[in-house]
Amino acid sequence: MAAPATERAAVRAHGRAPDVAGVLVLGGCTLWALVSATGRDARPEGVLLAVLALAAGYACGRICGSLLPVAAAATASLAALALALASGSGVPGSTPAAAVPLGPTGAAAALLVLAAGAACCAASAAGSPPARAALRVLGLAVAGVALALGSVAGFVAALGVWLCSAAAVRMRHRFLGLAGLVLVTGVAVGASFAVAEEALPEGLTVSLEGPLTPHRVRLWQDAIDQARENPVLGSGPDRFGTLSRTSLEEPLADGTPHSAPLQQAAEQGVPGVVLLGGVYAWLVCALWASPRSTAVVLTAGATLTALAALATVGNALSFTAVTVGAGLLAGLATARTAAAPD
């Protein structure tokens, strides 16, 4: 379905602005990681690698999406599914007795969501009804795989992306859809901070501690404590695990608070959280200004929102495959194809 005239005008007017904003935001993330690590026994390499992975994935997506938009998205879906299956032992739910999920769990669930989102993006861009139907089935099959592997979070997120993609076919205005997705992300991030601050009503806090686990909540509280001690610079990149009492007491802990916003707050202070939010805002703005159809844009937006929700309560963004996949999907959804208007 073609975008309305007003949205096509926005694409022409702001087509270069998102690229400039992306360079500035990613450059800011790189610079601040180095600043917050200065004079400390910190390791900013993880942040630098994540920035590089996101940028590389985005550039690759823009190139592949301009040449083979449907085939590239379908291939990305199959690749993400294969990676998730390869790490099947780490999918959430496969080790229910563990107090703290192992590191690969967040990556596996996120890869399943990316696989479903890429399949749905390919379906939204496909020209023939049989191809669209087959790709829709692939997206739904990914959700089924997540459930079969025991990843309830991955199943719910992938199914939500599939439903959003199906509904996006009938939407003509992408702004309201993207605004709703931003609101969902804001609520998820705000809820994680509220849980860590114990600012929610007691009954709601108790109900959330069940699925989150008390151990994770204590990790979040340690992150808040570190952020309070140094709200500007934080404790330094990759230093949360060495300063968190809860993390030190758990032999299987991976040194992260299992929440990207809270990790940023602990290790890079308030500016780190702002920059992380700036990355998400940049991707949303790039989708809004994308020359691709509204269905593709909203499907990609729903996928990135589901990924942001998983990263808010897990460690998905700690893995290079996930950050590359997120950048790749965003690049595919913002690529200027041969049929796109100038």
Confidence of residue 182 (pLDDT cuts 50, 70, 90): very high
Read off the pLDDT of residues 198-250 as tens digits, 9 standing for 90 and up: 888 888 878 887 888 888 999 999 999 999 999 999 999 999 989 999 888 87
pLDDT at 101: 43
| Higher-confidence position of 201 and 27 | 27
Mean pLDDT within 14-32: 89
> How many domains are contained in the chain?
1
**Selection from 50, 34, 150 nearest residue 98 by Cα:** 150
pTM of the model: 0.89
Q: Are 70 and 131 in contact (CB under 8 A)?
A: yes
The half-sphere exposure of 50 on its side-chain side, counting CA atoms within 13 A, is: 20
Q: Is residue 340 part of a domain?
A: no
For residue 164, what are its two tokens?
């959003």
In a domain, 204, yes or no: yes
On average, the pLDDT of the chain sits at: 87
Residue 119 within any structural domain of the chain: yes
Predicted pLDDT of residue 269:
95
Give pLDDT, residue 252: 67
Q: Is 280 within the bounds of a domain? A: yes
Gap between the Cα atoms of 33 and 143, Å rounded? 36
* Domain-embedded: residue 339: no
Question: Tell me: the pLDDT tens digits for 121-137?
Answer: 999 999 899 999 999 99
Classified as helix, coil or strand, 68 is: coil
| Domain span at 55 | 5-334
Window from 94-98, 139-143, 190-194 with minimum mean pLDDT: 94-98
Task: Write out pLDDT tens, residues 119-176.
Answer: 999 999 998 999 999 999 999 999 999 999 888 889 999 999 999 999 998 888 899 9
Residue 275 lies in a domain: yes
> Is 342 part of a structural domain of the chain?
no
pLDDT reading at 92 higher than 70:
no
Looking up tokens 């926005």 gives 10
In a domain, 341, yes or no: no
Taking only the tens place, the pLDDT of each residue in 7-22 is 444 454 456 788 999 9
Statement: residue 179 has pLDDT above 90: yes
Residue entry with tokens 């085939």: 71
Q: Is the pLDDT of residue 93 over 50?
A: no
Rounded to an integer, what distance in angstroms lies between the CA atom of residue 181 and that of residue 179? 5
Task: Give the per-residue pLDDT at 15.
Answer: 61
